[in-house]
Amino acid sequence: MLEGGADIRFIQALLGHESLETTQIYAKVSIGKLAEIHAATHPAARLASATAVATALREALSAAEG
């Protein structure tokens, strides 16, 4: 939300934090890190990765046979 333009005080109120310092801890989590975690744990992301590996293996086998 912060990277999307939300005010840190709004986020503080939304999360129910008494201290702004507590909210700032959560604000340090970057979108890049969240995307990395999503790619590593989301079933659809794992499926896409498995599909890419299978495609690469098929291509390698095809090249070796051909």
- pLDDT at 1 (0 to 100): 76
- Over the stretch 54-64, which tens digit does the pLDDT of each residue have? 777 778 777 77
pTM of the entire structure?
Answer: 0.42
- Over the stretch 5-56, which tens digit does the pLDDT of each residue have? 788 888 889 999 999 888 888 777 666 677 787 778 878 766 776 777 777 7
List the chain domain ranges. Answer: 8-65
- pLDDT at 19 (0 to 100): 93
With b meaning 16 or more CB within 10 Å and e meaning fewer, what string describes 36-55? Answer: eeeeeeeeeeeeeeeeeeee
